[in-house]
Chains A and B, each alone.
Chain A
Amino acid sequence: MRIDDDLIDFFGQPLMCIIAAADSAGRPAAGRGIGFELLGDRETIDVIFSGWQWPEIARGIEETGRMAATFVSPSDYVSFQLKGMARMRATLDADLVRSEAFMAAATAELAGLGVAPHMILPWLTARGACVARLAVSEIYVQTPGPLAGMRAGTAPQ
């Protein structure tokens, strides 16, 4: 599934990210993302998360190769979920730079909405940063309202 221009615009603003995987027994794991990078093919996204906080995410991806990531704009609740096959890849210095920028933007956005900084600190850490490379096969609108659950993005040419 191709990430279209509207989604590219969406990914350009301060976002929060939540992620999920499932192990071979079908038990889901949940966690938070701390950064991402859209790859040039517009069908792949690298999602960064703390392996220290969310070890079950990496374990689930390694076991079943499946992943979901939901990105939300905190100011207006606009949300999209990306799903597909994923694999873990080595973490690079550039990933840490991206995660720092993502966390700083998210923290400023939430603080601007009235969430106290001491509340946000426990959620976002780059300790044990890991990267999952997600080949996006499904994109869904997840903004609360009548469009929730509808497909987004465009089918690949």
Chain B
Amino acid sequence: MSLRLPDLSACFEGVIPSIIATASADGMPNVSYLSHVVRVDEEHVALSNQFFAKTAANVRANPAVTLILVDGFTGEQFLLDISFVRSVDSGELFERIARDLRATSAQVGMSEVMRLRSADIFRVRGIEQVPSPVEAGPGAASRPPVSLPALARAVAELGRQAGAGEVIDALLASVRQVLGYGHALVLLRDTRTGALVTTGSTGYARSGLGSEIADGEGMIGTAAASGRPVKVSDMSRLRRFGGAIGPDPEEAENLTRTVAFPALPGAMSQIAVPMCTRGAVTGVLFVESAQRLAFREEDEAALCILAGQAAAALGCSEREADPASPAPVSSVPSAADPARGAIRVVHHGYDDSIFIDGTYIVKGVAGMLLQLMAGWHVNEGRSEFTNRELRLVAGARMPEVKDNLESRLLLLRRRLEEKQAGLRIVRTGRGRIRLEVDGPLELAEGSE
């Protein structure tokens, strides 16, 4: 049976370098490693050719080329007889190759060196398997396929969730239950700064809630900026993304007002899937695994379906979070524990960061929201608030808040819980929340 390109899917993961042999017009051969081979369709491959001018010149003088591809699971080798068709330096296909290359090289500090200039398209004329001295090891087919009924159930479950927190928890649960991955993060876009903020987390020793990735930075930022999934299938020779974490992340948080990105020691595969709704990227689902080549084409497709459904559900939760009824004028303050001392809440105006009893909690929109509620609680004796009033008051200072109030409140709620800050935010109904305190609040403005 003759081999076809779709049979070689495990060769296109960029795990083991490919080999390209060309010959000049006068017949002198040239051989080099190649970082990326992309399957374009059933008959064509694209090669990134960012360094080797001789290879590029040869294929234009003599279009006959031989390629060796290596199966990323088994090590099996395949000889491809290919012919140069054309070069592309713009367009969708070029962007796809460039994106893959950027995502990989950014992690080894070579983003400038590895900048793609053009990609060459080749027609595949024949494929042969290279004889091997050993029996092939376990291949991609040894894992069970993604269960479509389980995926359908997870999608339905996501659609049933009303609040942002429930949507994120259901998404993380589906990643574990449907696909079997134990480490995942949900990052939502802060529309004010453009950064992606960790708002949900599963499997990590430290949750990393509140950690941020700048738009366009690394795999996650690239996925958000491009609206396309970005995947690395073998981290063994790559520096761990977000790896520069200090010895005491808790102490560092208080000094830098920056939460360290959570780390899976020994991660070998990572994927960042954009969460898109109505054409806009509102967040990123990030999953990692200690297994090489953990994300097959079908896993990636399933993650895209789940991320898309979650983005739509989160959009609904933002739109539906405002109750029709007006904001309550007053409410009964929640009971503080008289035995507990005052809880000191310090707000820093320049970045809206909040420290409670000396511990960094949150900054930005979420910090401003806590400052508002704490102020109303102390000055007006109120503990219950509506999204609508928060949106009105906070929106006057930060117009962007109207689009992601729910996600900022969720981040705030989870950070307060995680830090056991003596304050809690509890949802009491659609678009309604209550601030619960364990002691009297003492508010202060931080000196910069």
Measuring CB to CB, which residues of chain A are less than 8 angstroms from any residue of chain B?
18-22, 24-32, 52-54, 60, 64, 66-70, 72, 79, 81, 83, 113-116, 118-123, 125, 127, 140, 142, 144-146, 148-149
The answer, among A31, A79, A122, for a CB contact under 8 Å with B76, is A122
B62 interface residue per 8 A CB criterion:
yes
Whether A52 contacts B131 by the Cβ 8 Å rule is yes
CB contacts (< 8 Å) of A146 on chain B: these are 113
Other A-B contacts than A26-B62, A116-B137, A122-B75, 9 sampled, CB-CB below 8 A, are A27-B66, A27-B81, A54-B130, A68-B31, A118-B74, A118-B137, A123-B77, A140-B54, A148-B51
CB contacts (< 8 Å) of A149 on chain B: these are 51-54
Whether A122 contacts B132 by the Cβ 8 Å rule is yes
B68 interface residue per 8 A CB criterion:
yes
Whether B31 contacts A20 by the Cβ 8 Å rule is yes
- From 229 to 247 in chain B, residues with beta carbon under 8 angstroms from any chain A beta carbon are 234, 236-237
CA–CA, A28 and B81, complex, Å: 9
- From 31 to 69 in chain B, residues with beta carbon under 8 angstroms from any chain A beta carbon are 31-33, 35, 51-54, 62, 64-68
Smallest beta-carbon distance A64→chain B, Å: 5
Chain B residue at smallest Cβ distance from A118: B137
CA–CA, A75 and B310, complex, Å: 42
Whether A19 contacts B113 by the Cβ 8 Å rule is no
**Residues 413-441 of chain B, each 1 if its beta carbon lies under 8 Å from chain A, else 0:** 00000000000000000000000000000
Chain A residue at smallest Cβ distance from B64: A27
CA–CA, A146 and B137, complex, Å: 38
Q: Which of A70, A119, A121, A122 has the most CB of B within 10 A?
A: A122
Whether B133 contacts A27 by the Cβ 8 Å rule is no
Q: A79-B33, A119-B16, A123-B75 are in contact. Are A113 and B133 (CB under 8 A)?
A: no
B198 interface residue per 8 A CB criterion:
no
CA–CA, A123 and B113, complex, Å: 29
Whether A121 contacts B32 by the Cβ 8 Å rule is no
Q: Which of B21, B132, B136 has the most CB of A within 10 A?
A: B21
Instruction: Report the 10 A-B pairs with minimum CB-CB distance, sorted nearest first.
Output: A114-B236, A30-B21, A119-B75, A20-B31, A20-B21, A20-B29, A22-B23, A118-B137, A125-B133, A122-B132
CA–CA, A156 and B362, complex, Å: 68
B134 interface residue per 8 A CB criterion:
yes
CB contacts (< 8 Å) of B305 on chain A: these are none
Whether A144 contacts B76 by the Cβ 8 Å rule is no
CA–CA, A35 and B131, complex, Å: 19
B20 interface residue per 8 A CB criterion:
yes
Q: A121-B134, A140-B54, A144-B113 are in contact. Are A83 and B64 (CB under 8 A)?
A: no
Whether B74 contacts A148 by the Cβ 8 Å rule is no
CB contacts (< 8 Å) of B75 on chain A: these are 116, 118-123
CB contacts (< 8 Å) of B27 on chain A: these are 22, 24, 26, 64, 66
